[in-house]
Chains A and B, each alone.
Chain A
Amino acid sequence: MATISSNTPLNTRKPILSARRSRSRSVMIGLVVLLVVTVLMGLGLGAVRVTPAQIVAIVLDNFEINHSLDIAYEARERGVLIAIRFPRVLLGVLVGAALGISGAAIQGLFRNPLAAPGLIGISSGAALAAVSVIVLGATLLQGLTELLGNFTLPVSAFAGGVVTTFIIYQLSSSHGRTSVVTMLLAGIAINALTGAVIGILTFIADDEQLRSLTFWGLGSLGGATWRSLRVAAPMIMAALITLPFLARPLNALLLGEDEAKHLGINVERTKRFIILWVALAVGAAVAVSGAIGFVGLVVPHLLRLTIGPDHRYVIPGSALLGASLLLCADLIARTIVVPAELPIGIVTSLLGGPFFLWLLLKDRKNHLV
C-alpha cells in the first residue's frame, strides 16, 4: 500500500514540470556548438587566416582521405595549421576542459562554490616544482635536467602538483576518513609554505630566470607541440571520461556526507577518486601550460547559474565551457598584441575577475550559488 492517501486523485493534479531539465539539455547542445565554433576560430584566425572549408580540406588531405572537395589552399596554410594551430587548439581544449571539470568536481566535493582546484595544492605544488627547475635547473637540479631533457619542466610540475595533493590528502585523513574541512585548512597552510619557498627562489633568481618564472606563472599555450600534447592528453582524457561517472555521488554529497552515505553512496571512495582525477588532470594541464587562473572557478559557477547545480550537467558542461573559454582567451592572447603574445593567464583573470564580480553583484539578493 502507498503511505497515507492524499485527497487529490493523481490524474487531476498539476504535473510537475522540470523546466530546468529541458533547459539543461539545450544548454549542453549549445555548448557543443560553441566549442565547435571556437575550435574553428582558434584554427582559422591569426596572422595566417584559414577558412573552415580549408581546414576540412587540409585535415582530409593530411590523413590522405580521398574527397571531392575543390578547395584551394597554400602549403604555408597547411604548415601553420598542422604544426602550430592544431596542437595549440587541441591543447587549449584539453587544458580548458581539465580546468573546468576539475573546478566543478572540487566545488562539489567541498560543497563550496568558491573552491578551486588550487585549494588542494595542485597548482602551488606544480608551481614550486616548476620554479625550482627554472631557477636551480642548471645547478642543484642538473642531474634531473640531464635525465629528463626538454620534459624536465612539465614532468616536475606534474609530479610536484600530485605529490603536494597527496601530502594534503594524507594530512586530512585519519582512520580511513577524509575531512574536507581539514583538507581545506591544510591546503591553505601548504599553499602558504610553497608560496614562501617560491619567494625565496624568486629572490635568488637572475633576470632571465625571472622572465621565465613570470611567463610560467601567468600561463600560456604558446609552448604547444604535438609532443607536449601527447604528454598531457592521456591523463586529462582519463579524468574527462571518469569524472562524469561521479556526478550522482557528487549530487548526493551536496546533501551532506552522512546523507550521501544513507543514500548508499561510498563516500570515501568518491572523495578519493575525485582528488585523484583532479590532481592528475590539473597537474597535467599546469605542467604543459603553466598556471592559468579563474577558469576552474568561474566556469562551473556560470553553469550553475544557468542550469542549476545538478552535476550530471555541470560536470560535462564545465568541460565544454572551460574548453571554449580557454580557446577564446588564447585567441585574444595571441592576436591582441601581434606579433607579441600576451600570457593567457592575464586574459583569463582580466576577463574573469570583473565578470565574476558582476555575477556576484547581480545576484546578491538571491541565494544563487
Chain B
Amino acid sequence: MLTADNICFSINRKEILRDVSLTLAPGELLGIVGPNGAGKSTLLKLLVGDTSPTSGTIHLNERPLHQWDRRELAKRRGVLMQKSRLSFSFTVFEVVLMGRIPFNTGAEKPEDYDIAEEALYQVGLENFADRLYTTLSGGEQQRVQLARILAQIWRAKGGKADSDSIGESRFLFLDEPTASLDLAYQQQTLQIAKSLTAENTAVLAILHDLNLASQFADRIVMLKDGQVANTGTPGEVLKPETIQNLFNTPVFVLPHPETGRPLITV
C-alpha cells in the first residue's frame, strides 16, 4: 500500500504540487490524468522517491519511503520513465537482464535468463533479443524498457509464498507508458499492467489518453494546477463537466458500446 498525505512541492517558491493526498492499493490500477503542466510527472517523482516533498509524507507499506533500503525497494518496485537515454549499444536481451540487477551481486543466475526471456515474450519482442537496443525505433525501445521493468518485478511462477522471498506487494509506476506506441501496443502495454494487478501488484500510471484511462484504470486521480481536482472510478470522474474543467475544452462523453465505460470525444 502506498499512501501520500498532503504532499506539497515547490521549486524556488513556485508551488508545483499542493496538498496532494492519494492511496495506491495492491491489485488496483490507478490512472493519473491532467493537462500539461499539472504536476503529474513531479508527483510521480515524489511518489518513487527521486525527489523529496517540501512537506507531507509518503509511506510504502506503512514505512516512510525514505527509510526503505534502496535495494529492497528495487526488488518490489519498478519505475518506467518516459524517455530512456540509453545510447550505448547493448543488445535487447542485455537491457532486459539489467532488470535483475537488484537480485544478484555478480553474474546473473539461470533463472534471471529465464525471467528476462519471459519478459521479452510478454512485450512481443522475443525475436529482438540479439538486436542492438540503439537500432530500435522509439516505440520498440519503450517496450524493451517495459520488459526490463517486468523482469525486475517478476513473480516466481506458481506464486508460492515461500519461493517468493519478497512477499506479496509489488509496485509498478508508469510515466506515460504509451507515449510513443501505436494503438495495438498501447493496448498491450496497459493489458500487461492490468494483468499484474490480478496478482496483487499496485500499478500507478500517468496517462495522457483519457480513453485508455477509462478502459483500464480502476480509479482515476485528476490533477489540475498541482492539486487533486477529482478522484474516483472512471464512471464517477470522467464526466463532461469535470473533463471540461480539467482541459478547458468541451467534450462529449458516451458509453462504450461494449464495456459501458465512458468514451470521451471532442
Contacts and interface: CB of A to CB of B under 8 A. Distances in A.
Contacts of B50: 258, 261
B40 to A, nearest CB: 16
Interface in A14-35: 14, 16-20
B101 A3 contact: no
A251 interface: yes
A310 B102 contact: no
A248 B71 CA distance: 14
A308 B90 CA distance: 6
A3 B71 contact: no
Interface string B113-132: 10011101110001001101
A254 B88 CA distance: 7
Interface in B121-176: 121-122, 126, 129-130, 132, 134-135, 150, 152, 154-155, 157-159
A113 interface: yes
A309 B93 contact: no
Interface stretch (A44-52, A55-63, A135-143, A263-271): A263-271
A147 interface: no
B102 A263 contact: yes
Interface in A254-298: 254-256, 258-259, 261-266
B120 A16 contact: yes
A314 to B, nearest CB: 10
B91 A308 contact: yes
Contacts of A340: none
B101 A369 contact: no
B126 A111 contact: no
Given A3-B155, A16-B93, A263 B81 contact: no
A367 B131 CA distance: 12
A256 B80 CA distance: 12
A304 B89 contact: yes
B78 interface: yes
A71 interface: no
Contact of A263 (B90, B98, B135): B98
B126 A4 contact: no
A101 interface: no
A8 interface: yes
Contact of B94 (A6, A308, A368): A308
11 contacts: A1-B155, A6-B122, A16-B129, A18-B94, A20-B91, A258-B79, A261-B70, A264-B74, A310-B90, A366-B135, A367-B87
